[in-house]
A and B are shown apart, each in its own frame.
Chain A
Amino acid sequence: MTRGLLGSLSTVALIAVGATGAAAQDDGPITIGILNALEGTYAVPGQDGMRGIELALMQHDHKAGGRDIEIVVQSTDTTPDSALRGARKLVEQDGVDFVIGPLSGSEGIAIRDYSKTQPDVTFINGISGAMEMTMVDPSPNLFRFNIDGAQWSKGLGDYVFNEKGYKTVATIGEDYSFIYTQVFGFVTEFCEAGGEVTERFWVPLGTKDFGSIIAALPDEVDAIYLGLGGGDAVNFLNQYQQAGGEANLIGGTIMVDASVLNSQGRAKEALIGVPSSGPQADTWDDPRWTEYVDAYRDAFPEGERFPSPSLFATGYYNATNAALQCLDTVEGDLSDDQVAFRDCLSNLTLESPTGTITLDENRQAIGTNVVTEVVEREDGTLANELVKVVENVNQTLGLSPEAFAELGLPSRENPECKSEY
């Protein structure tokens, strides 16, 4: 009897739960499912992503196309499993009209595959940066308004070769897809400009002891490219300084991210003057960017936000804004498999805080990338200063689609360092 009663009770409970998950009506509010990392390593960036969404909704008065906007949030822990489960819940259980998210690279690939099984729901990427998400087997109902990890490297290789005069570079990176993608973008440009990448070191994500890597670093290179993030970046810098390292450094996008620049201790001082690149710079004087930063600072009290919005806030902000603008355009009409809504998204010219963004035929963003250099502000904090703006960066990094396809996908050894691609 034990089993019987419990079993049937839980079944009844489940049926009751299932019955409440009805889909939204046509004249009622529009429900947006948010997929964001609110647990694990990326919980802090994920929370900043939530601020980006809230800011966009606030600026729109929580309304678009004459209908109220409601959001349902589903947390992931940046593993593809959790992203897939979260997306399933949002779409199949909560019946959301469309999904915004996820945050990290591998999640993005899982969502691309899932979106193909749900053709009547639209997916708009949060800030996942994996190239494969829109490059390989793109999904017709998946849209990405942020440029990918390789695009975030655009301009850097050229800048360090021509302006900084670095001819030979060794790279150190965390051993996973996002960093492969970043190095991919850096290597193609740097080598084409005439530089040489002598060695590539890969360390496992979460490495605490960089002693053996630091000992193995070649002395004769002009600079070292660092593709590390978060705690790994801080650990490396600490140990590198203790070992007396004095080489020139080049930073990947997350190496000079707010979480590293605002870390405790003196390690970050090694970053002053380090060139890097990414979709945004703290000291950008473009009015679209300054307006956005001011709005961000006004919307959230100090202490509950970063000094200026992170990459993650901007990514989710742009995605939400694109969706709201298109909802206005189609006047909240999501009928007919959201055809009008998707049309609008595909052809949208998004005036974002980080420049003008349009989508290519794979629904992947073509946008602006900036080269930055870390500077010390008057109050002693570090910030990314704008050095150079590269506009209209597309996913093939300016190469023809055929030449780009020939390069293959980013991996530990790919692409080779050649003077022409």
Chain B
Amino acid sequence: MVAVDRTSAAERPRGTLDRVPPAYWVVGVLLLVLPAFVSPFILFQIMGWSFVLGLIALSLTFLGGYGGMVSLAQMTFAGLAGYLVAIFGDSAVDTISQGWPWWAVIPLALILTVLFATLVGWLAVRTEGIYTIVITLAIAAAFFYFTRQNYDIFNGFQGFNSVLPPHLFGVDWRGGVAFYYLSLFWAAAGYFLVLYLARAPFGLALQGVRDNPRRMAALGYNVTAHRVAAYALAGLIAGVGGILLTWQSSQISPGTIAIGPAIDILVIAVVGGLRHPIGAFIGALIYVLLKIFAVDVLVALGLSGERFQLLIGLGFLVIVFFSPDGILGLWDKLRASMRRDPLTGRDRSDLP
């Protein structure tokens, strides 16, 4: 893993703060002061949505990149958490919504989501490769149709509207700046959690399971348990993302968790790059920018705006065509070519 290599390459022992790479400082400060420069639309709709989708895609990056399991059910976990918040908390559908306080609703929603993810994981880890994709896709499709046809709990086609975040500390968390910081906080939390786990014993064992499950089993690791635990954790991350997504659009309905959005999450993760958690967020930002501005680009070029989906698809195609590893792979390629000596073709750092 890139991340693992980088830390082991540290030349001398340093203090905790010193060990934070400068890039983190730059991005961190930029993200923190961003609200001073840009409109609430960019904060809420572009950045906020990117963070939220990135968080859901991060759960897939974690499963896929570190666990070697590609799951299409991540949007389903996110959607379930969103639905549970609407069902136990407040919404405009007061015949179903229980109206319980937020401190009960949110933990309950997350616990149930993790349980569901564990169950799905327990089913899915019995399969490998393309079969995992198929079984998780089947779960996503089944959940979508179930929510659309169940009226007693999920309110069918309509779903729930007016699902709003609690007014904590007197802040309207759906305001541009407030939602930006809220989503930034959870995106950062998810990011560092995955980064930390990748180097923790659990994460290392998981990567071992990914690379050679037989050897890991021979070494005494419980392969199935590690994989199921990865699903549970990914379910938690996706669940947090799902709750934020529901608050952002203030509603949840079967359309939010349909097959299309489920596949979008995979597209985001792949376009960004599965090798490092930052890939999920880069992919989400590109997805959101394309989704919002593709129509304007076409119209600016004097073309009919109706074909904007084509532009979105082409954008993704170009990225994946030039770099199967997504944007992260593109960056690595660029760096490798800069390091290479154009005359000898050898790595410059190897030269005396």
A92 close to B40 (CB less than 8 A) = yes
Which among B34, B38, B45, B256 is the interface contact of A89 at CB below 8 angstroms? B45
Give the residues in chain A near B293, CB-CB below 8 Å: 17
Which among A8, A73, A177 is the interface contact of B27 at CB below 8 angstroms? A8
B149 close to A11 (CB less than 8 A) = no
Which among A10, A110, A204 is the interface contact of B148 at CB below 8 angstroms? A204
Residue B306, interface by CB 8 Å:
yes
> Contact residue range for chain A?
35 or more
Min CB–CB distance A374 → chain B (angstroms):
27
B306 close to A47 (CB less than 8 A) = yes
Which among B276, B308, B331 is the interface contact of A75 at CB below 8 angstroms? B308
Min CB–CB distance B210 → chain A (angstroms):
22
Give the residues in chain A near B332, CB-CB below 8 Å: 2
B23 close to A5 (CB less than 8 A) = yes
Known: A4-B23, A14-B42. A39 touches B309 (CB 8 A): yes
Residue A289, interface by CB 8 Å:
no
Residue B315, interface by CB 8 Å:
no
The majority secondary structure among interface residues of chain A is helix
Alpha-carbon distance between A242 and B100 when the two chains are bound, in angstroms: 51
Give the residues in chain A near B285, CB-CB below 8 Å: 10
Which among A5, A10, A80, A412 is the interface contact of B151 at CB below 8 angstroms? A412
Residue B278, interface by CB 8 Å:
yes
Of all chain B residues, the one with the shortest Cβ separation from A78 is B255
A75 close to B305 (CB less than 8 A) = yes
Residue A269, interface by CB 8 Å:
no
Known: A21-B39, A81-B249. A74 touches B295 (CB 8 A): yes
Using a CB-CB cutoff of 8 Å, which residues 311-338 of chain B contact chain A? 327-328, 331-332, 335
Known: A7-B27, A75-B305, A93-B45. A18 touches B251 (CB 8 A): no
Selected interface stretch from B102-110, B153-161, B220-228: B153-161
The majority secondary structure among interface residues of chain B is helix
A2 close to B278 (CB less than 8 A) = yes
Of all chain B residues, the one with the shortest Cβ separation from A412 is B151
Q: Mark A5-36, 1 if CB is under 8 A from B, else 0.
A: 11110110011011001000000000000000
Residue B56, interface by CB 8 Å:
no
Using a CB-CB cutoff of 8 Å, which residues 98-135 of chain B contact chain A? none
Using a CB-CB cutoff of 8 Å, which residues 81-109 of chain A contact chain B? 81, 84-85, 88-89, 92-93, 106, 109
Give the residues in chain B near A176, CB-CB below 8 Å: 156-158
Which among B253, B278, B305, B331 is the interface contact of A80 at CB below 8 angstroms? B253
Residue A350, interface by CB 8 Å:
no
Residue A113, interface by CB 8 Å:
yes
A84 close to B249 (CB less than 8 A) = yes
Q: Mark B19-52, 1 if CB is under 8 A from A, else 0.
A: 0011110110011001001111110111101000
B292 close to A89 (CB less than 8 A) = yes
Known: A8-B30, A15-B37. A2 touches B23 (CB 8 A): yes
A175 close to B157 (CB less than 8 A) = yes
Residue B58, interface by CB 8 Å:
no
Min CB–CB distance A114 → chain B (angstroms):
9
Known: A6-B282, A6-B331, A39-B309. A113 touches B161 (CB 8 A): yes
Alpha-carbon distance between A204 and B293 when the two chains are bound, in angstroms: 34
Give the residues in chain B near A92, CB-CB below 8 Å: 39-41, 44-45
Alpha-carbon distance between A177 and B253 when the two chains are bound, in angstroms: 13
B45 close to A110 (CB less than 8 A) = no
Give the residues in chain A near B27, CB-CB below 8 Å: 3-4, 7-8
Chain B interfacial residues counted at CB < 8 A: 52
Min CB–CB distance B9 → chain A (angstroms):
13
Q: Mark A105-123, 1 if CB is under 8 A from B, else 0.
A: 0100110010000000000
Q: Mark B282-316, 1 if CB is under 8 A from A, else 0.
A: 10010000001101000100000110110000000
Give the residues in chain A near B305, CB-CB below 8 Å: 38, 73, 75
A73 close to B299 (CB less than 8 A) = yes
B22 close to A80 (CB less than 8 A) = no
A2 close to B45 (CB less than 8 A) = no
Min CB–CB distance B297 → chain A (angstroms):
11
Known: A4-B22, A7-B30. A15 touches B38 (CB 8 A): yes
Alpha-carbon distance between A17 and B292 when the two chains are bound, in angstroms: 12
Min CB–CB distance B56 → chain A (angstroms):
14
Of all chain A residues, the one with the shortest Cβ separation from B49 is A85
Q: Mark A36-73, 1 if CB is under 8 A from B, else 0.
A: 00110000000100000000000000000000000001
Using a CB-CB cutoff of 8 Å, which residues 289-347 of chain A contact chain B? none
Give the residues in chain B near A205, CB-CB below 8 Å: 148, 157
Alpha-carbon distance between A184 and B65 when the two chains are bound, in angstroms: 52
Give the residues in chain B near A14, CB-CB below 8 Å: 38, 42, 46-47
Residue A1, interface by CB 8 Å:
yes
B249 close to A1 (CB less than 8 A) = no
Which among B45, B151, B157, B299 is the interface contact of A88 at CB below 8 angstroms? B45
Known: A73-B299, A110-B251, A113-B161. A4 touches B39 (CB 8 A): no
Using a CB-CB cutoff of 8 Å, which residues 235-254 of chain B contact chain A? 249-251, 253
Min CB–CB distance B242 → chain A (angstroms):
13
B45 close to A81 (CB less than 8 A) = no
Give the residues in chain B near A109, CB-CB below 8 Å: 161
Of all chain A residues, the one with the shortest Cβ separation from B2 is A2
Min CB–CB distance B106 → chain A (angstroms):
21
Residue A259, interface by CB 8 Å:
no
Residue A392, interface by CB 8 Å:
no
B23 close to A1 (CB less than 8 A) = yes
What are 8 A-B pairs with beta-carbon distances under 8 A?
Answer: A1-B21, A7-B26, A88-B45, A89-B41, A92-B45, A175-B149, A176-B157, A204-B149
5 smallest beta-carbon distances between A and B, as pairs: A4-B23, A92-B41, A79-B255, A7-B27, A176-B157
